[in-house]
Amino acid sequence: MSSQHTSKIFIVGGTGAQGIPIIQALVEDKKYSCRVLTRDTTSSRAQSLLALGNVELVEGTFADEAALRNGFKGCDGAFINIDGFNTGEKTEMYWAIRSYELALEDKGIKFFVYGNLDFALKKSGYDPKFHTGHYDGKGRIGEWILFQNQHNKGRMGAALFTTGPYIEMTISSLTVMTPTIEDGVATWRVPLGDGAVTHVALDDCGYYVRWLFDHPERASGMDLEVAIADIPYGELAAAFSKVTGHPAQYIDTSLEDYWTKGPMRRAADVPAGYNAPAADPSTMSLRDNFTGFWNLWKHRVVKRDYALLDEVRNAKMTFFFVGDGFMSCDSLLQIPASIC
């Protein structure tokens, strides 16, 4: 139905690591314009988006119904990616629900895309060792949105855009998988065992979200779960050495050593959500949150439909072989100063 095609998209999360390439992909040929909600319209990231053209900035926060209503007004599409590390699991769930409801209330939004993560707890069969707050918070709401879409798709279509850890995080500072240099060797010392991480490239996010908005009839009701490949870190280290010429290694470690000796040790007991109240029983610590996270990858709970992704991602790219999958050379060679 051509009436479902959108032209002006309200973006929540536009100045984040994922949001920037998504907006770039949406506005590059001027088919779409974007209205971006940001807490600071004068920030360097906000201004870089404005310079793209076809981008409008509105100041506010997703935790404000008036700001959300103002953002939806006059738009016919929405991409909502709420920052769970800002709010914490419980608050993110509330504002994700309200975002969907307010988009319906607006009556002008024809297509709604929710920035999602895997419902780790459910996918593991509700085994508590896999509970990962910032994943499960999104995953629960993602399922709720698809259920609501069965009843509301005649009024507003909806799709999920499910990602995972960015490949850029493996070579960036201040992440849970930041490598160290040990005797001149780039070293990933993480509790992964023989598992593999389903990594996503940031640049690919733009392509996939653009595809969802370009194909609303097919995309409505879809959970587009994306990835480059399931990447074991022994193969990641070998690929890093091959591409860069620098020695690299992966060393499996126990969760205990990771939290007492690793780079995250000083932050282990802080809330997983820098605005989440530590005294709230629903607030997970970083230790508890990312223990579930590493168990998720160690035991290969997350799966991807790579045949579907090959169908969707039909643009030509340069790859190198990593185990049973492929990684984009561009993904490893683009090393950002920081990843938020």
Asked if residue 55 belongs to a domain, the reply is yes
- Whether residue 253 contacts residue 219, with contact meaning beta carbons closer than 8 Å, is answered with no
243 and 116 assigned to the same domain? no
The pLDDT of residue 157: 97
Could you tell me if 215 and 85 lie in one domain?
A: yes
Tokens of 91: 């608050």
Do 272 and 140 lie in one domain? The reply is no
Same domain, residue pair 171 and 220:
no
Give the pLDDT confidence score for residue 5 in this predicted structure.
Answer: 59
340 assigned to some structural domain: no
The rounded distance, in Å, linking the Cα atoms of 138 and 22 is 19
What's 116's domain CATH number? 3.40.50.720
Query: Which pLDDT does position 8 carry in this prediction?
Result: 97
What pLDDT, on the 0 to 100 scale, is given for residue 314? Answer: 74
Domain membership flag for residue 311: no
Q: Which domain holds residue 282?
A: 167-196+229-301+321-333
Assigned domain for 306 exists: no
Structure tokens at 227: 């990835």
Q: Which helix (H) or strand (E) holds 286?
A: helix 286-298
| Residue 182 and residue 87 in one domain | no
Helices 89-106 and 65-72 pack at an angle, to 10 degrees, of 40
Same domain as 244, residue 297: yes
Q: Does residue 31 sit in the same domain as residue 96?
A: yes
CB-facing half-sphere around the CA of 327: CA atoms within 13 A: 28
Give me the pLDDT at residue 336, please. Answer: 34
The rounded distance, in Å, linking the Cα atoms of 205 and 139 is: 18
Assigned domain for 316 exists: no
Is there a single domain that holds both residue 154 and residue 18? yes
Q: What is the pLDDT of residue 227?
A: 97
Position 255 in a domain: yes
Residue recorded with tokens 């282990």: 268
Count of structural domains, the chain: 2
In a domain, 125, yes or no: yes
Residues of the chain with pLDDT under 70: 1-6, 315-340
User: Is 256:264 a contact under the CB 8 Å cutoff?
Assistant: no
Q: Are residues 178 and 233 in the same domain?
A: yes
Within-domain flag for 137: yes
Helix (H) and strand (E) counts for the chain?
14, 14
pTM above 0.75, yes or no: yes
At residue 20, what are phi and psi to the nearest 5 degrees? -60, -55
Residues 253 and 141 in one domain: no
Give yes or no: residues 23 and 151 share one domain: yes
SS (H, E, C) 77-145: EEEECCCHHHHCHHHHHHHHHHHHHHHHHHCCCCEEEEEECCCHHHHCCCCHHHCCHHHHHHHHHHHHH
Burial 271-292 (b: 16+ CB within 10 A, else e): bbbeebeeeeeebbbbbbbbbb
Domain at 188, CATH number: 3.90.25
Same domain, 186 and 90: no
CA atoms within 13 A on the CB side of 71: 34
Q: State how far the Cα of 253 lies from the Cα of 250, in Å rounded to an integer.
A: 10
Distance from C-alpha of 195 to C-alpha of 213, rounded to nearest angstrom: 34
- pLDDT for 274: 86
Q: What is residue 29's predicted lDDT score, i.e. its pLDDT?
A: 93
